[in-house]
């Protein structure tokens, strides 16, 4: 009796398309003749295509790349009330973004940070800390965030998160010469116990000087030419009464391992303007880029006399691979926005709202 085995071996994607190599072996006493091979090959190809069609139908490049490790998992739509237990575990409430992302800010209102010797920055400009939670169709929850800590706090905070199963995916600075020294730690967690993730994050926060949450009133107008900034950037932003912020999200679907990230989570360019009077502003933020976009963006920022602070990654297992550059500038706010526009145009992003 002859038993034929067909192996489907995944090959590296070429031009964004996944291909499969079909290897057949024949076991038993019979040997295949040349005619047998020619007759059997078309049939094998049909069978293989039929088996793969339901899996690959509608799958883009990112889906195809993830196939060997399992199907991609999409985020679930939730409501703010669904996150009440997480809010309690974190010790403060957050807000729901785009129906999927539960976002909680932890601003460093306790710090007085001076940049370049004479510019006192607000927490809203560059001293924010935040975490975001997302639930997935497989019953798991992912959390990620970006936390500003002082150099004295840094090691003990990391040790605490490590002990509580919270990973660090990046460690860097967002600002040029500043005092006291501040570091930004990107954190990540994933599992089926979202309260354990929340408690683990909070354990780290409690090793910092982050103050308790305080209620905020309605935002006041920001003393900047908002219309001029928005015209220059080609997008509308938002103001919290302290700074003006414009956010752009990657147009591609971004995955973290097998998890599809909601649009605007962990893959945004943010431009934040703190008014300094007389139409001037301090500018801080970062651009999100693919590898092939990096040099065009860096060149555009420098031609606009915007200082580069860091070039780094924020994730460990994202696809496509993302890079971020943090920048800094002081000057006329509208002129700064004009200088940013070529960097925006050099990346595949679209305007968004929120974080």
Of the candidate ranges 2-6, 134-138, 198-202, 296-300, the one whose mean pLDDT is the lowest: 2-6
- Report the pLDDT value the prediction gives residue 59, as an integer from 0 to 100: 34
The residue to which tokens 């001037």 are assigned:
280
Task: Select from 314, 310, 347, 351 the least CA-distant residue to 328.
Answer: 310
- Report the pLDDT value the prediction gives residue 240, as an integer from 0 to 100: 87
**DSSP letter assigned to residue 208:** S
The residue to which tokens 């200088």 are assigned:
339
All residues at 6 or more sequence positions from 301 whose CB lies less than 8 Å from its CB, including other chains = 287, 308, 325, 327, 339, 340, 343
**Residue 353's pLDDT band (cuts 50, 70, 90):** low
Of residues 35 and 237, which shows the higher confidence score?
A: 237
Q: What is the mean pLDDT of the chain?
A: 84
- Report the pLDDT value the prediction gives residue 246, as an integer from 0 to 100: 96
- Report the pLDDT value the prediction gives residue 215, as an integer from 0 to 100: 77
- Report the pLDDT value the prediction gives residue 8, as an integer from 0 to 100: 36
Q: For the segment 282-302, what is each residue's pLDDT rounded down to a tens digit? A: 999 999 999 999 999 999 999
- Report the pLDDT value the prediction gives residue 268, as an integer from 0 to 100: 95
All residues at 6 or more sequence positions from 313 whose CB lies less than 8 Å from its CB, including other chains = 169, 170, 321, 322, 323, 324
Q: For the segment 243-274, what is each residue's pLDDT rounded down to a tens digit? A: 999 999 999 999 999 999 999 899 999 999 99
Q: For the segment 116-172, what is each residue's pLDDT rounded down to a tens digit? A: 989 999 999 999 889 999 999 999 999 999 999 999 999 999 999 999 999 999 999
Q: Is the pLDDT of residue 41 over 80?
A: no
Q: Is the pLDDT of residue 69 over 60?
A: no
Chain Cα centroid distance, residue 177: 26
Of residues 17 and 130, which shows the higher confidence score?
A: 130
Is the bond preceding 180 in cis, omega lying within 30 degrees of 0?
yes
Q: Is the pLDDT of residue 184 over 70?
A: yes
Q: What value does the mean pLDDT take over residues 26-50?
A: 40
**DSSP letter assigned to residue 213:** P
Task: Select from 172, 102, 141 the least CA-distant residue to 323.
Answer: 172
- β-pairing verdict for 130-135 and 3-10: unpaired
């Amino acid at each position: 009796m002859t038993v034929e085995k067909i192996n489907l071996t995944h090959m590296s994607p070429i031009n964004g398309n996944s291909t499969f190599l079909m290897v057949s072996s024949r076991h038993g006493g019979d040997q295949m003749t040349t005619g047998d091979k020619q007759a059997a090959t078309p049939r094998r190809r049909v069978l293989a295509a039929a088996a793969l069609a339901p899996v690959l139908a509608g799958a883009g490049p990112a889906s195809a790349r993830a196939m060997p490790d399992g199907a991609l998992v999409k985020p679930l739509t939730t409501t703010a009330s669904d996150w009440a237990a997480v809010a309690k575990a974190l010790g403060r409430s957050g807000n729901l973004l785009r129906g999927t992302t539960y976002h909680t800010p932890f601003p460093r209102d306790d710090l007085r940070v001076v940049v370049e010797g004479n510019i006192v920055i607000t927490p809203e400009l560059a001293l924010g800390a935040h975490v975001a939670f997302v639930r997935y169709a497989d019953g798991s929850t992912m959390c990620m965030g970006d936390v500003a800590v002082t150099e004295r706090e840094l090691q003990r905070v990391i040790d605490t998160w490590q002990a509580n199963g919270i990973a660090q995916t990046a460690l860097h600075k967002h600002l040029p010469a500043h005092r006291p020294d501040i570091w930004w730690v990107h954190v990540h967690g994933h599992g089926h116990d979202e309260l354990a993730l929340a408690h683990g994050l909070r354990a780290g926060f409690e090793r910092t000087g982050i103050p308790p949450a305080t209620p905020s009133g309605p935002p006041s107008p920001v003393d900047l030419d908002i219309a001029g900034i928005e015209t220059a950037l080609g997008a509308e932003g938002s103001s919290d009464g302290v700074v003006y912020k414009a956010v752009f999200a990657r147009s591609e679907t971004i995955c973290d391992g097998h998890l599809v990230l909601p649009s605007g989570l962990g893959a945004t360019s943010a431009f934040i303007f703190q008014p300094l009077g007389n139409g001037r502003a301090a500018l801080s933020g970062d651009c999100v880029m693919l590898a092939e976009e990096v040099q065009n963006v860096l060149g555009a920022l420098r031609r606009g006399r915007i200082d580069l602070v860091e070039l780094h990654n924020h994730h460990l297992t994202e696809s496509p691979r993302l890079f971020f550059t943090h920048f800094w500038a002081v000057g006329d706010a509208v002129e700064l926005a004009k200088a940013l526009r070529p960097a925006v145009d050099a990346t595949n992003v679209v305007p968004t709202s929120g974080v």
